[in-house]
A and B are shown apart, each in its own frame.
Chain A
Amino acid sequence: MSTDAVRAAVDEAFRDEWGRVVATLIRTTGDWDLAEECAQDAFAMALQRWPRDGIPGRPGAWLTTAARNRAIDVLRRKAVGAAKLREVAAMSDSPSGPALDDDPSGVPDDRLRLMFTCCHPALSLEARVALTLRTLAGLTTAEIARAFLSSEPTMAKRLVRAKQKIQNAGIPYRVPPAHLLPDRTPGVLGVLYLLFNEGYSATAGADLVRQNLSAEAIRLARVLATLMPDEAEAGGLLALMLLHDARRSARLDASGDLVTLEDQDRSSWDRASISEGVSVLESALRRGRPGPYQIQAAIAACHATAAAAGDTDWAQIAGLYEQLARFLPTPVVELNHAVAVGMAFGPEAALPLVAALEGAGQLAGYHLLPATRADLLRRLGRSSEAAHAYREALELASTDAERRFLARRLAETSI
């Protein structure tokens, strides 16, 4: 067995199994640090043993067993009571709760309870994000710190405090009972979506660790959707991520400038990701319980499945934004609705909607509001008003890429 092949197998097992090994160890030992340590040791052991013994048929089961044995050793050395030792030793036989045991290897899947515990509302949002990345995705403290532009000691402290709070405040390690799920599930989805967006908004020049957050978020959303097949919004979130991610490489041009959806090279969109996103979305929608993630995914699907920008079904998108506003009644959603109305029914139809938003004042200072008005005016041929609005947007835009885009449009309008 070549070292490279083993390396690759261990890397793959790390991505697929880390969270599961940690989650199982936390359940049986009740000790988060011990669980992480033993999982780490198990992967190190795999690097030593697999070249000699071959890659096991079920790497996850092998790793969990190795980590468990390690935990027993450590606990024995710490002279932990016999009862606790028996509990840990017997762990692969213990029940893992209802409907979680989907793995034929006999190793129960505890990742769902780990997700809900990491995203418990008693923890701060920063703590939820950091814990999720550390315990479920297996990122190192240094990587998490880099991804969130923070120092390693700060991030380490945040993780220690979060784990202490779980211990000291008695935050339960479990999937919440049915009556709490409607309250808790959005919290888990929210953390995963935040992770995705952190990675998605990182530009090509930014740190690779940051970009990888999107891949981690998709991986975790896939786990969540698999473990909660009845939760339509989990499928909706996964579909949304896949459909956005499919366009990742087309969003920026060679010089790092933003390319609008209209001008993107559609041949560079990831077809496999789009078709997976669409099929995940369809099976979520079949459950008949729409929610904000499913609706946003449906909007993304309208864009992703249009062969050319001109083929986009804007009337349907406008309708979807109207639905979305019922779940998320925010001015940004209203603004997107106005844009879609402008595309579907003409700029005259959209101008009053934009004017109403300007009147409400909630979006004051948001550059996309004047930028939208500018675009509508440009299309109506009202050039001087459009130029005025572009200048207003230019002053408010916060990134270089956005400023360059607006400046280009302004130049076109002024010709």
Chain B
Amino acid sequence: MQYLLLICGDESAAENADEGCGGWTEEMTERGLLRVTGGLRPPAEARTVRVRRRQLLLSDGPFAETKEQIAGLVILECADLDEAVEAAARHPAASYGTIEVRPMRP
């Protein structure tokens, strides 16, 4: 099954993002779990797009006005939820931010 790991944190998490993943990516690749990985530029650089009544509505910044923002994402192929949770817990961002583990539709 595939799981999306949304790596969330406040602005400082974005700074941490430059430090890399301390061997996590390599470990997940070696275990054959890693499908997709990507770090994100800070939310201030986001454009949010909506179309309502055929009108294009554009705004600056992220969709959700929260302190916690998505800093990166990973897609893992895991046997089950336990394996995905265990992998997320080993990610360095888990120790300073939050990682949401979302099962993906098949």
The minimal Cβ–Cβ distance linking A146 to chain B, given in whole angstroms, is 32
Task: For the complex, give the distance between the alpha carbons of A170 and B103 in Å.
Answer: 8
Contact A176 B82 (CB under 8 A): yes
Q: Which residue of A lies closest to B105 (CB)?
A: A168
Contact of B46 with A by CB under 8 A: no
Contact of A401 with B by CB under 8 A: no
Q: Which of A122, A170, A176, A180 is in CB contact (< 8 Å) with B1?
A: A170
Contact B79 A172 (CB under 8 A): yes
Contact B80 A168 (CB under 8 A): no
B80 contacts across to A, CB distance below 8 A: 170-172
Contact of B84 with A by CB under 8 A: yes
Q: Which of A110-137 touch B at CB < 8 Å?
A: 120, 122
Contact of A169 with B by CB under 8 A: yes
B: number of interface residues (CB 8 Å):
9
Task: For the complex, give the distance between the alpha carbons of A180 and B81 in Å.
Answer: 13
Task: For the complex, give the distance between the alpha carbons of A104 and B9 in Å.
Answer: 54
B81 contacts across to A, CB distance below 8 A: 120, 122, 169-172
Contact of B74 with A by CB under 8 A: no
Contact of B78 with A by CB under 8 A: yes
Chain A 149-185 interface 0/1 with B at a Cβ cutoff of 8 Å (1 = within): 0000000000000000000111110001000100000
Contact A172 B82 (CB under 8 A): yes
Task: For the complex, give the distance between the alpha carbons of A176 and B80 in Å.
Answer: 12
The minimal Cβ–Cβ distance linking B106 to chain A, given in whole angstroms, is 9
Task: For the complex, give the distance between the alpha carbons of A169 and B3 in Å.
Answer: 9
A172 contacts across to B, CB distance below 8 A: 79-82
Contact B103 A168 (CB under 8 A): yes
Task: For the complex, give the distance between the alpha carbons of A93 and B21 in Å.
Answer: 45
A170 contacts across to B, CB distance below 8 A: 1, 3, 78-81, 84, 103
A176 contacts across to B, CB distance below 8 A: 82
Q: Which residue of B lies closest to A184 (CB)?
A: B82
The minimal Cβ–Cβ distance linking A187 to chain B, given in whole angstroms, is 13
Contact B82 A180 (CB under 8 A): yes
Task: For the complex, give the distance between the alpha carbons of A172 and B103 in Å.
Answer: 13
Q: Which of B1-56 touch A at CB < 8 Å?
A: 1, 3
B103 contacts across to A, CB distance below 8 A: 168-170
Q: Which of B74-92 touch A at CB < 8 Å?
A: 78-82, 84
A169 contacts across to B, CB distance below 8 A: 81, 103
Q: Which residue of A lies closest to B3 (CB)?
A: A170
The minimal Cβ–Cβ distance linking B99 to chain A, given in whole angstroms, is 14
Q: Which residue of B lies closest to A176 (CB)?
A: B82
Task: For the complex, give the distance between the alpha carbons of A170 and B79 in Å.
Answer: 8
Q: Which residue of B lies closest to A169 (CB)?
A: B103
The winner among B78, B82, B84 for most chain A CB atoms within 10 A is B82
A168 contacts across to B, CB distance below 8 A: 103
The minimal Cβ–Cβ distance linking B77 to chain A, given in whole angstroms, is 11
Task: For the complex, give the distance between the alpha carbons of A171 and B3 in Å.
Answer: 12
Chain A 171-207 interface 0/1 with B at a Cβ cutoff of 8 Å (1 = within): 1100010001000000000000000000000000000
The minimal Cβ–Cβ distance linking A26 to chain B, given in whole angstroms, is 15
Task: For the complex, give the distance between the alpha carbons of A24 and B79 in Å.
Answer: 21
B3 contacts across to A, CB distance below 8 A: 170
B1 contacts across to A, CB distance below 8 A: 170
The minimal Cβ–Cβ distance linking B103 to chain A, given in whole angstroms, is 4
Q: Which of A32-52 touch B at CB < 8 Å?
A: none
Task: For the complex, give the distance between the alpha carbons of A180 and B1 in Å.
Answer: 21
B78 contacts across to A, CB distance below 8 A: 170
Q: Which residue of B lies closest to A179 (CB)?
A: B86
A122 contacts across to B, CB distance below 8 A: 81
The winner among B3, B80, B84 for most chain A CB atoms within 10 A is B80
Q: Which residue of B lies closest to A167 (CB)?
A: B103
Task: For the complex, give the distance between the alpha carbons of A205 and B33 in Å.
Answer: 56
The winner among B3, B78, B81 for most chain A CB atoms within 10 A is B81
Q: Which residue of B lies closest to A177 (CB)?
A: B82
The minimal Cβ–Cβ distance linking B82 to chain A, given in whole angstroms, is 6
B79 contacts across to A, CB distance below 8 A: 170, 172
The winner among B78, B79, B103 for most chain A CB atoms within 10 A is B103
B→A interface (CB under 8 Å): 1, 3, 78-82, 84, 103
Given contacts A171-B81, A180-B82, 18 further A-B contacts (CB under 8 A): A122-B81, A168-B103, A169-B81, A169-B103, A170-B1, A170-B3, A170-B78, A170-B79, A170-B80, A170-B81, A170-B84, A170-B103, A171-B80, A171-B82, A172-B79, A172-B80, A172-B81, A176-B82
A-B contacts, 5 of them at CB < 8 A, read A170-B81, A172-B79, A172-B81, A172-B82, A176-B82
Q: Which 4 residue pairs are nearest across A and B when measured between Cβ atoms?
A: A172-B80, A170-B1, A170-B80, A169-B103
